[in-house]
Structure 1
Amino acid sequence: MSLKQRLILGLTTTLTLGACSSNSNIFDNTLGLSDYAIIGGKGLTSKDDISKSIVGIYIHNKETKDIEICTGSLLPNNLVITAAHCVSDSVGELDIALIFNTNMDMKNIKMEQVRYVDKKSITTWWGAGGHEEIDTGDIALLHFNGDVPAGYTPATILGSADALQDGAPVILAGYGVNKVRKTAIDENTYPDLINAVQLGTVVCENNQNLENCYEITKSGEGTLRQVDVTIANAKFSSSEITVDQTNGKGACQGDSGGPAYILSGGRYYLWGVTSRGIDDQFNDCSVRAAYTNIPFFATWLRRAAAKLSTSLTNPNLLSQ
């Protein structure tokens, strides 16, 4: 079954089951939360300016049948920027759809709000030797068919990273979980503990001996949210910046590829792509998150865009 058929089936199922179930949506047992989303933030609607350049990404692996969600930022010429790890599964071919709605619950989505990705470009750093821990190149560009749905406008990319300093206030946004619960467990009675640890649903202070373990549960995915945080380390690596999440706010599982903005002169400037957690032993999104620095990849972005569509030498894309 194609991704388009799956989405149509999901929409049809919602129409037939919605009257008897308030939980009828795309988030079933097959849905993966592809890394990072928003904790401690506020929900966004189509009336919020920041939401007008953010899209949900629905990813279906045709071989494994897994489904995941990520987030992306709209750019000119039918392009969306996101995280490489969202769209580069090592096993199986991916079908990718973009959801132009602030809520990814199927009962809220119309087919005219869906666009299908036909081309993509990923940095050569991603998956390359020497880039496993830092400077991972976790950035990708997608091209989609059709026009841009009404109400959406491209983001403006920050032209220089000079304003991105330690302690600077920034804004994160994305779809995904907004609640994380850490519950102590009895290691002697917990069912299939080893498998749970391997899956990441249980984390332990001592993984080798399976001691002091906690069950991690997450909920609330599918709604677009934003949150205010500060930069923790603007020089984490040559191409990555970390944000502080120790105040109960920040990025968490479910929203990889989402945007980071800085506000200047009343305008939001896109500078980052959500990549991964840092020093997050308990996988509860309470320490730091790493963001790919978009201005660092400006040359790659222009070249990739030229291959995917027309030139992006557009004053509405890159600030001066």
Structure 2
Amino acid sequence: MDPARTAWGLAAILTLGGGCGAPAGDEPAIGEARSGILGGRPAMAEERLATVAVVDTDDVEECSGVLIAPRVVVTAAHCVVLQESSTGEITAALGPKNLAVVAGALDVAEASADQKFPLREVVRHPAFAGAAGTMPASGLADVNDIALLLLERPVEALEPAAIPPLWRVDEILSDRGMVVIAGYGEQGSTGADAGALYIAETPYRERNGTELIAGGSGEPDGCAGDSGGPAYVIAGDQRWLLGVSARALPSQEGGCGSGGVYTLLPAYTPWLEQGSHHEYVSLDGTPEREQSASCAVAGSPGRPAEHAGGGALVAAVTLGARRARSRRPR
């Protein structure tokens, strides 16, 4: 990727307020963990945007996420479950006793006590079924890989990201054709710099009703630990959050660097409002157009949420088990 182009794009996104052919290849299981930002660079303080880290009880980074309201973080559903390694079947749900959020730190290892946020509730989309199928060759499906982390106290150091109305998505994507991705994950298979926030710009490629594809061979990409991390887009004078990282694209090579699939958040705004107990409030759009677009989305994003609070099934997991789950090869 042209460093000058990347530098321009990142500089532009920092100055703003606010807050459908894909390669054929192997067919990995749906729900396979999204394997830090490969080809990116360490983020500066002003590039934290609304990106946060999701950590385990030992403060080890497991996934990334995005702040969408002062006490609401959106991430990937596969970040809040345990899955059987060979089949991808969900074996346990994780709850507030298992996870926390680090917000405002450039490196999880250097986070202060006031940058660590306990959870009061974990909310997973009820239609997420782990690896209950295989990916089509295009890479796009309807997986509902989305979850919410509800915090015990508000984050004040970061401005929540703005999610556009669904009817504006194509307009926004055609305006630039590039997305900014970020995450606290690994820098390739060695695990280097896991826990540090990295950022990069990569091209948008295509979308369906509930997912979008960004990146590809030779372009910046996510790696293990970036699941749940953002895909931001600039349109005019607005910075938008369009997606969260879900999984790698089908690839002959495997591993990081093949491009990624992101859950398309504007398709889920009714569910986001409901799952957050209306702490997240969607932006006003054109009601008739937004309702029409939402009705066309498969998978009923507005279905009731599955909540994991203090009385729900909470998995008792070891550090080793958690890391084996989130670091599964792409």
Partner of 1:176: 185
Q: Give TM-score, length-normalised by structure 1.
A: 0.66
TM alignment of 1:100-249, pairs within 5 A: 100-106=103-109, 108-127=110-129, 133=135, 134-149=141-156, 151-160=157-166, 161-162=169-170, 163-164=172-173, 168-178=177-187, 180=188, 216-235=189-208, 238-249=209-220
Q: Show the counterpart of 1:35.
A: 34
**Match of residue 80 from structure 2:** 87
Whole-angstrom distance in 1 between the partners of 2:276 and 2:269? 10
SS in structure 1 of the partner of residue 222 of structure 2: strand
Q: In the alignment, which residue of structure 1 is the partner of 2:299?
A: none
For residues 234-281 of structure 1, what are the alpha-carbon distances to aligned partners after superposition, in whole Å with 9 as ceiling and x for unaligned?
A: 23xx31111122124111122100000111123320010100001134
Distance 1:154 1:55 in 2: 11
Structure 2 regions of 5+ residues with no counterpart? 1-32, 83-90, 136-140, 287-330
Aligned-pair CA distance for 1:72:
0.8
**Which structure is higher in RCO with an 8 Å CA cutoff and minimum separation 6?**
2
Report the secondary structure of 2:204's partner residue: strand
State the partner residue of 1:21. Answer: none
- Deviates further, 258-267 or 276-285: 276-285
| Alpha-carbon displacement from aligned partner over 1:202-225 (angstroms, at most 9, x marks no partner) | xxxxxxxxxxxxxx5342211111
Compared CA separation, residues 319 and 56, structure 1 to 2 (3 A): farther
Q: Equivalents in 1 of 2:155, 2:162: separation in Å?
A: 16
**In 2, Cα distance between equivalents of 1:271 and 1:92:** 26
Alignment-mate amino acid for residue 42 of structure 1 = R
Residues 166, 231 of structure 1: 8 Å contact kept = no
Secondary structure in 2 aligned to 1:250? coil
Q: What is the letter of the counterpart of residue 227 of structure 2?
A: S
* Cα distance in 1, alignment partners of residues 35 and 237 from structure 2: 27
Establish whether residue 267 from structure 1 lines up as the match of residue 264 from structure 2.
no
Q: Distance in 2 between matches of 1:139 and 1:296?
A: 11
**8 Å Cα contact 2:176/2:234 also seen in 1:** no
Q: CA–CA distance in 2 between the matches of 1:319 and 1:44?
A: 32
Residue identity opposite 2:207 in structure 1: A
Instruction: Give the direction of change, closer, same or farther, for the CA distance of 1:130–1:176 in structure 2 (3 Å limit).
Output: closer
- Matched residues in 1 for 2:266 and 2:282: separation? 15
AA matched with 1:312: Y
Counterparts of 1:46-65 in structure 2, within 5 Å, are: 46-48=45-47, 51-60=48-57
Deviating more after overlay: 111-120 vs 38-47: 38-47
Q: TM-score, normalised by structure 2?
A: 0.64
Change beyond 3 A, Cα 1:105–1:303? closer
> Structure 1 residues 255, 57: CA separation in 2 closer, same or farther (over 3 Å shift)?
same
Aligned length: 237
- Tell me the residue number matched to 2:311: none
Deviation at 1:91, TM superposition (A): 3.6
Contact in 2 for aligned 1:71/1:175 (Cα 8 Å): yes
SS at match of 2:99: strand
Provide, for residues 40-96 of structure 1, a one-character-per-residue CA deviation record: whole Å limited to 9, x for no partner: 112212223xx1311111034xxxx99551111112240000000001223474411
SS at structure 1 position matched to 2:56: strand
Task: Point out where structure 1 has 5 or more consecutive residues left out of the alignment.
Answer: 1-33, 181-215
Residue 35 of structure 1, CA deviation: 2.9
- In structure 2, the residue matched to 1:204 is none
Structure number with larger C-alpha Rg: 1
Structure 2 partner of 1:71:
64
Distance 1:112 1:83, change over 3 A: same
Richer in strand (by share): 1
Query: Does the CA-based 8 Å contact 2:228-2:245 persist in structure 1?
Result: yes
CA distance in 2, matches of 1:254, 1:145: 23
For 2:243 and 2:275, locate their aligned partners in 1 and report how far apart those are by CA, in whole Å. Answer: 17
Q: Kindly tell me: are residues 165 and 264 of structure 1, through their superposed partners in 2, closer, same or farther at Cα, counting changes over 3 Å?
A: closer
